[in-house]
Structure formats: C-alpha cells, structure tokens
Amino acid sequence: MNNIPVAIVTGASRGLGAAVACWLGQAGAAVTLIARSEAKLNQTGNDVRRLGGETLVCRADVSHYDACRKAVDKTLDRFGRIDALVNNAGIVQPISAIVRTDPDDWRYNIEVNLIGPFNLIRAAAAALNRQKGRIVNVSSGAANLALESISAYCTGKAALNHFTRILAVEEPGLTALTVRPGVVDTDMQTFIRQEGPRAMPADQADYYRQLKDRGQLEPALIPARSIAWLALYAPHEFSGRYLDYDDDRISKPALAVFGERFSN
C-alpha cells in the first residue's frame, strides 16, 4: 500500500464526485468515498474497485467537523496515509431571493460549500503535509457572477476561492487550488431546471433549460478527469490558483494519463 496514492473524495455518491473517484480508481489509487448516501456510495465503491482501485466508504455530512475527522481517522487506519483531498461535495439550494430565503437553508448551503472543505482540510492537514499532498477544492463559475436567487451558492464558492488562496500561503508544503468544473450534466442542473422557474428571472431560468436542450452540458467524466489529474499530479506552481478544468495545462495531460473513457 505504501506506493499506492490515497485520496479522499467528498460528494462521491454521484455525478462529478463519483466520476473523479472512478478516474482515481482507474489509476490504481485507494479512495475514501464520502457522502450522505451510503447506498449510492457503495455503488461508487463497486465501480472504483472494478476499475482497479481500493475503496473505503464513509457516510458523513461534511458540514459536521467530527464526521470529517472520523473519516480522516478511518482513512489513516485503513491506508496509512493521505496524498490528496478533493472537496467536491456541494449543494445549490436554496433557490430563492435573499429576502425570501429561509435563514437555516442559506446557512446550511454555506456549511456544506465552504465549511465542509474547511472541516476536511483541518482534519487532514497533518497527514497531507507528511506527503506534501494536494488539495483540490471544486468551485464554480458562479463564484465570479452575481446570479439572482442563488446567493448562498455564489457566495460560498467565492469565499472558497479566497479561502484556498489563504490556505496556499499558510501551508506552503501543500499544493492547494480551486477548479471550475464547467456546467456539468448532473443532478444539480436537473434541480435548477426544476426549481429555477419558480424563483429566477425568466431569462435566467431559460438559460439553464437551453443548456440541456442544446446539449451544452459537459458529461461529468470530462471535468472529473481533469480534477483527478490535479489530485495526483498538480504541480506546486498551481497552488493558490483558481483554474479551469479545460485549461490546456490540465486537460491535455489528464487525457494523456487517463484516456478518453473508463477502461471497462
């Protein structure tokens, strides 16, 4: 096990996180899978093992520090080290104007999208430093946009970008970065298409519908391939940066390492 890279991936039960875990499995990594749905995590685990990886399933809500700490402890007990952390878990809800949003819903969004990465980083930092490890925080283009009715999501992702810059300064032995995964064909986009028309301006809601209708949503495996490459190979010069998944410095070597699709 000493020569096998060990990664933690949050939000690994579906979509982008599950695809990241599968790419890592195809590379022969050991992957701790974290999400709230154990049944779906077990399915991801089966896929990762089929592709050649090892897995540890940890059902946890990343907004709770103790749950994150226990997942880190279990990872170290099972695999002995942590080389990479991919903070992918995220939620877009509430979709609502600020003045009509339930305060608890707004707070929980921040707890998942911003405090969740903090919790995992805080819990895993010592182990990551021993390996000169990598942290990939999955951000969003929404971090740089003022989008109506998804204020918590935009705010949390903007804060995550700056948090990562500070982390890179404080922990120079680590490589910590944020990545924009593009607009991905996942359950989050389905939720936006369903709920957006109730709260968003009509043109904004229509934009999300047209992305699907025109086939402009990216399949999860494409940005996931870039994220997996960053988790294993991101050069230290990337630390502190906010990068695009389709940046040639990332997408081209990721394609060269992993190939077009999963091996089986």
What pLDDT, on a 0 to 100 scale, did the predictor assign at position 264? Answer: 65
8 Å CB contact between 176 and 230: no
Would you put residue 76 in left (φ > 0), alpha (ψ -120 to 50) or beta?
alpha
Q: Which CATH class is domain 6-92+101-184+220-255?
A: alpha beta
Q: Locate tokens 């500070």: which residue?
A: 166
Which amino acid appears at position 53 of this protein? Answer: G
Residues annotated as catalytic (active site), given as ranges:
139, 153, 157
Candidates 108, 115, 78; CA nearest to 92 is 108
What pLDDT, on a 0 to 100 scale, did the predictor assign at position 176? Answer: 98
Give the CA-trace dihedral at 220, 224, 225, 229, to 10 degrees: 180
Q: Does residue 135 sit in helix, strand or coil?
A: strand
Rounded Cα distance between 113 and 31, Å, is: 21
8 Å CB contact between 70 and 46: no
Low-confidence spans in the chain with pLDDT less than 70 = 1-2, 264
pTM: 0.96
What pLDDT, on a 0 to 100 scale, did the predictor assign at position 105? Answer: 98
Strand partners, 30: 6, 54
Which amino acid appears at position 35 of this protein? Answer: A
Q: What angle do CA 34, 228, 59 make, to 5 degrees?
A: 5
What pLDDT, on a 0 to 100 scale, did the predictor assign at position 3? Answer: 84
| Structural domain spans, the chain | 6-92+101-184+220-255
Rounded Cα distance between 146 and 149, Å, is: 9
Q: Which helix H or strand E contains 128, and what residues bound it?
A: helix 116-130
